[in-house]
């Protein structure tokens, strides 16, 4: 599994663990469901700036949004 797919899976898991739909998380992140879906399916890369913005909006540490790479 590559890092892009690992991140996509992690974002999906993060969302589901909170019981949010894609629409709900997209609204919180000031984006739309289609863009969030692309992040979750690894068809769109995500910048560090976006990760930092999401962490601030979600009130979490940025590292909690980044999956562990030790299994690669």
For domain 3-63, give the fold.
434 Repressor (Amino-terminal Domain) (1.10.260)
Cα Rg of the chain, angstroms: 11
| 68 or 13, greater pLDDT | 13
pLDDT at 65 over 90: no
CA dist., res. 32 & res. 3, Å (int):
23
* pTM, 2 dp: 0.80
Q: Which two tokens stand for residue 39?
A: 């992040």
- H/E stretch holding 49 reads helix 48-58
pLDDT digits (tens, 9 = 90+) for 11-62: 899 899 999 999 999 999 999 999 999 999 999 988 889 889 988 988 888 8
Domain ranges of the chain: 3-63
Distances in Å between the Cα of 37 and the Cα atoms of 2, 34, 53, 70 are: 18, 5, 18, 25
């Amino acid at each position: 599994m590559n890092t892009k797919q690992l991140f996509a899976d992690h974002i999906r898991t993060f969302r589901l663990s909170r019981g949010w739909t894609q629409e709900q998380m997209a609204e919180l992140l000031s984006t739309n469901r289609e863009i969030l879906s692309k992040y979750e399916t690894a068809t769109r890369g995500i910048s560090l700036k976006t990760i930092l913005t999401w962490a601030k909006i979600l009130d979490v540490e940025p590292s909690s949004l980044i999956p562990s790479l030790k299994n690669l």
